[in-house]
Structure 1
Amino acid sequence: MARERTGRRVPVDRAGPADLAMRSLGRRGLPMQLAAVLVLAPAERGPEEVARVLAGRLGGVRRLRQRLERTPPGGGRPVWVDDARADPARHVRQLPCPPPGDEQALLDLAAALVSEPLPADRPGWAATVVTGLAAGRTGVVVVLSHVLVDGIGGLALLAAVVDGAPAAVPEPPRPRPAYPVLASDALRSRARALRRLPAGVRELRDATRAAGRARTPPAGPCSLLAPTGTTSRAAAVAVDLGRLHAAAHRAGGTVNDALLVAVAGALGALLAARGEAVDPLLVTVVVTARRTAGTDRLGNATTPLVVAVPVAGSPADRLARFAGTVRAARDSAAGPSLPALLGPVFRLLAAAGAYRWYLRRQRRFHTLVSNVPGPDRPLALAGHAVERVVPLAVGEAGNVTVAFDALSYAGTLTVTAIVDADRVPDLPVLVAALDAQFAALGAPAAAP
């Protein structure tokens, strides 16, 4: 039996069903990866010091020194195993920002980096220090495999890397759990699954309802739904979080309600510019099943909800009508996602290409929105003030040509539109419309 040097038995650290669902989705097309793009203010320390700090602090997180490995027959789900050859410095590099060195150039580079599959022979993360930004700024693009983390887990890693975080002392690599340990743990897991079967049936019913398969009518046909490729572009809008919160509160809603109304209005304007009209728009909202995470509790814990968001009318009127919709849907359908509940069945369908076939033809939703509440106070990294944090994620998009990631940080909500480069050549029209929607809600663009 494998034991640590302390004599304790090596724990069995298995990937969860949602993590494995992410891995199965990332095998074709774009990888399932997410990124945080940090804009750092000028400081005395140079990019070499930023790279050194990133390698040291991210390398101190055990999960970022591990790889996911299959088990022998009867050993249960794949397990996280310490990689004795892990070298954090290999995960960090420097690149110059393409001209003109502004934020859009940084986002163009970040979109290319997050779309590049992470090497399979090492733990699933990479960090790039981007030099040559305007006004002496430095950029940082941290890319993570979605098998490792969801948005909340990504924030836990951000908290571990910024200045003032407790110093992490890397522990010696653990040996791989012995087969008898894996087999007995797998048997216990199967027994627990059998005991939970009645609850699992209820969760499956709730997850089906949340995903919009039970009552929501099909998404109206439009150019937002078209088979996507592997080239993405991104652009971001930043708004004053306090003013957006006040506008949402006046309508009896939340910041998330206001975000969805603004997104639907912007997409409606984009369609109008193309000579199309759809009302309502069906939006998949990624809802987290947890408020916080730690570096010892990463993984994925999200549920997708499909909601109908009105397009016609002023932003304020639509917000008043829509307020509370997400809360009601979340309260009636909280729990694991459908892919996580289906487990091996879903992974088999994904491996055979059946789920990808479905995604490229689905009519359940027009777009996807993820909103993660981030730090409310300013942060620093290697002595540089962190001016902005821009979220960015890619993955198997099927026929969804536009998606949105939102993250709040130090009083600003940053909303990133990620589009298929070939299907959405009019990205500037979408960004301008999103700006206008927030301004109409009383939350104009935040100061850069």
Structure 2
Amino acid sequence: MKQLSALDAMFAYTETPNTPMHIGQLLIYDPSTAPGGKVGFKDILRYIEGRLDGARIFRQKLVRVPLDLDHPYWVDDENFDLEFHVRHIALPKPGDWRQLCIQAARIYARPMDMNKPLWEYTVIEGLDNVEGVPKGSFAMLHKMHHAAIDGQSGLQMTLALHDLDAKMKPRKFDMQFEPEKDPNPMALLAKAQFNNIANPVRGLKNLQKLLPMPKRLLDVQREFRQRDDAKGSIPKTRFNKKLSPHRVFDGREFTLADIKNIREAFPGATVNDVMIAVVSGSMRGYLNAKKDLPEKTLKIGAPVSVRTDDDKDSAGNQVTMMQVGVGTHLADAGDRMKFIMEETRRSKAMTQAMGAKTLMELSGAMPAGLTAAGTKMMVRAGIVDRLNPAVNTVVTNVPGPMVPMYFAGAELVKSFGMGILAEGQGLFHVVTSYNGNVILTFLADRNIMPDPEFYAECIVKSFSDLTAAATKEKTAAARKAGEKKAKQPKKPKKRVSASAATAGRTRAKTTGK
């Protein structure tokens, strides 16, 4: 039995029918590489059953403390039923990409049963007309509650289900499943009383770690001067409204080579900078078309992992959020890219100066009962929706494997991340990578974005504009280099004295040369 951290528990407290707090993936497989060239549903069940020991969260459920007077606990579920968690459906003909996106969004919008282990997989067959996918392929939609995992630990859970070859070599896992009965409610209440006294004391001990913070922040502000057009409050957009229970989903793929080409044009840029710039351009294009583009720059939240080597095998959330202005007030894609590079460098430095991991640990200093009550009250009262947004959207980057992966012998051919929506934040972007490609997907409230196909077109247009800007930057850099070389004074030819010339002719005659 293990207790959730304050951050993990927040995702359980904010769960509502309109804001299910799970994250996920949509993975597409080609069964032609499997034994016999096909994979049946029973094959999938047997395969997953053999991998359940690869991640503890597979068979753990959440147990709440009465009245939420303390944070919940994870316990091994004595009534675990694999077939409850793995479902099976098929697309109607023609089985195209749009049908898959609609079906995935519908499934993803449904909250999970909070009384069972917090994950679900849905096998989707009938993908016969999806571009870039072999006919007869199947998809698998993953749903995993954010109280249990963050992007990095979710990746570990996914890797436990995959092999590096199609032969499915058996793997051994160290984890042991020990089903246990639910803890006694009275015992949990007694423990809650102790924790609600002990937690603030532990928090006070951690406060000394924050003493150097003001100086570090001042140093960062001196080193990284923020542009005037990056300052100010966050503008409210159509994406920052109260949510409905309905969702839309879509995504686009880009080659890593094309992204590296853009990076090279903007020295110092990262893949994350490039993808944030793509999001910036797509949001600008979409809002501009709706005549809803704010004059001030939009700002995005970018989760940053604070997971250390000691935490790499642990589940739960080890993240903080940095805020980045994305230059949506700038019309030129190249100018937006440079704006974003300045903002990300500054935000990273600020996050490091604040001591993100220490702040995360201090979040558990408040008595758990007060945290739970305050969070639930804000959600139910809709206070979040009426406040200025914390960010306009979230862009999270979860790098994936860059080599082919196999599930039950079927090759993974496409991988799409799926995010999480919260009140006041109706648009979420996920950047993932797989086998030479970088994938940008988005999840949105259907009432806020009734036309996801158009937003997907805005993503493609934004990437095209950024590619053109990169070409322009490279051309300008080459021209400057040429001009600099032309301005350099030519080295004078070395003069040879008359005596040296005579000596040379004499040597030539003597040697016959």
Same fold (TM over 0.5): yes
- Give CA deviations for 1:154-190 in whole Å, capped at 9, x if unaligned: 1000111102583336624164689599689947766
Helix, strand or coil for the counterpart of 1:280?
A: coil
Higher mean alpha-carbon deviation, 352-361 vs 230-239, is at 352-361
* Aligned ranges 1:182-197 → 2 under 5 Å: 186=195, 191-197=201-207
- Give the C-alpha shift of residue 143 in structure 1: 0.8
Seq. identity, % = 22
Matched, 1:366 2:384: no
- Give CA deviations for 1:23-72 in whole Å, capped at 9, x if unaligned: 11113522101111110013223232123312432365322211122357
Match of 2:39 in 1: 46
* Aligned ranges 1:21-100 → 2 under 5 Å: 21-27=10-16, 29-43=18-32, 44-48=37-41, 49-58=43-52, 60-71=54-65, 77-100=71-94
Question: Which one-letter code corresponds to 2:335 in the other structure?
Answer: D
The 1:59/1:96 distance shift into structure 2, 3 A limit, reads farther
* Aligned ranges 1:126-145 → 2 under 5 Å: 126-134=120-128, 135-145=135-145
Contact 1:75 1:182 in 2 (8 A): no
Match of 2:331 in 1: 313
* Aligned ranges 1:6-25 → 2 under 5 Å: 13-25=2-14
CA distance in 2, matches of 1:366, 1:149: 23
- Give CA deviations for 1:189-208 in whole Å, capped at 9, x if unaligned: 6653332133368889999x
| Structure 1 gap segments, 5+ residues each | 1-11, 210-214
* Aligned ranges 1:167-206 → 2 under 5 Å: 167-168=172-173, 171-173=176-178, 175=180, 179=187, 186=195, 191-199=201-209
Residue 404 of structure 2 is aligned with which of 378, 388, 403? Answer: 378
* Aligned ranges 1:32-431 → 2 under 5 Å: 32-43=21-32, 44-48=37-41, 49-58=43-52, 60-71=54-65, 77-134=71-128, 135-164=135-164, 166-168=171-173, 171-173=176-178, 175=180, 179=187, 186=195, 191-199=201-209, 217-251=232-266, 252-278=268-294, 279-290=296-307, 296-311=313-328, 312-334=330-352, 335-336=356-357, 340=363, 343=366, 344=368, 345-353=370-378, 357-364=382-389, 365-396=391-422, 398-431=423-456
Match of 2:503 in 1: none
The 1:122/1:53 distance shift into structure 2, 3 A limit, reads same
Helix, strand or coil for the counterpart of 1:285?
A: strand
The 1:171/1:220 distance shift into structure 2, 3 A limit, reads closer
- Give CA deviations for 1:77-103 in whole Å, capped at 9, x if unaligned: 432111111122321121112443123
Contact 2:396 2:429 in 1 (8 A): yes
Contact 1:35 1:144 in 2 (8 A): yes
CA distance in 2, matches of 1:326, 1:162: 34
Higher mean alpha-carbon deviation, 410-419 vs 63-72, is at 63-72
Aligned residue pairs total 427
Contact 1:74 1:183 in 2 (8 A): no
Match of 1:9 in 2: none
CA distance in 1, matches of 2:396, 2:155: 14
Higher mean alpha-carbon deviation, 419-428 vs 52-61, is at 52-61
- Give the C-alpha shift of residue 435 in structure 1: 0.7
Helix, strand or coil for the counterpart of 1:257?
A: helix
CA distance in 2, matches of 1:222, 1:183: 41
Helix, strand or coil for the counterpart of 1:228?
A: coil
- Give the C-alpha shift of residue 318 in structure 1: 1.8
The 1:340/1:96 distance shift into structure 2, 3 A limit, reads farther
Helix, strand or coil for the counterpart of 2:7?
A: helix
The 1:76/1:21 distance shift into structure 2, 3 A limit, reads closer
The 1:124/1:366 distance shift into structure 2, 3 A limit, reads same
Helix, strand or coil for the counterpart of 1:408?
A: strand
Higher mean alpha-carbon deviation, 344-353 vs 116-125, is at 344-353
Question: Which one-letter code corresponds to 2:114 in the other structure?
Answer: A
Contact 1:65 1:123 in 2 (8 A): yes
Match of 1:7 in 2: none
CA distance in 2, matches of 1:126, 1:293: 28
Contact 2:63 2:115 in 1 (8 A): no
Contact 1:93 1:129 in 2 (8 A): yes
CA distance in 2, matches of 1:406, 1:127: 21
The 1:253/1:342 distance shift into structure 2, 3 A limit, reads farther
Task: Give me the TM-score of the superposition, normalised by structure 1.
Answer: 0.84
Higher mean alpha-carbon deviation, 151-160 vs 369-378, is at 369-378
The 1:426/1:72 distance shift into structure 2, 3 A limit, reads closer
Task: Give me the TM-score of the superposition, normalised by structure 2.
Answer: 0.74
- Give the C-alpha shift of residue 109 in structure 1: 1.7
Question: Which one-letter code corresponds to 2:292 in the other structure?
Answer: E
- Give the C-alpha shift of residue 272 in structure 1: 1.4
Helix, strand or coil for the counterpart of 2:240?
A: coil
Match of 1:212 in 2: none
- Give the C-alpha shift of residue 354 in structure 1: 5.0
Question: Which one-letter code corresponds to 1:302 in the other structure?
Answer: V
- Give the C-alpha shift of residue 273 in structure 1: 0.9
The 1:219/1:125 distance shift into structure 2, 3 A limit, reads same
RMSD between aligned alpha carbons?
A: 3.5
Helix, strand or coil for the counterpart of 2:336?
A: helix
- Give the C-alpha shift of residue 104 in structure 1: 2.9
Question: Which one-letter code corresponds to 1:231 in the other structure?
Answer: H
Question: Which one-letter code corresponds to 1:297 in the other structure?
Answer: S
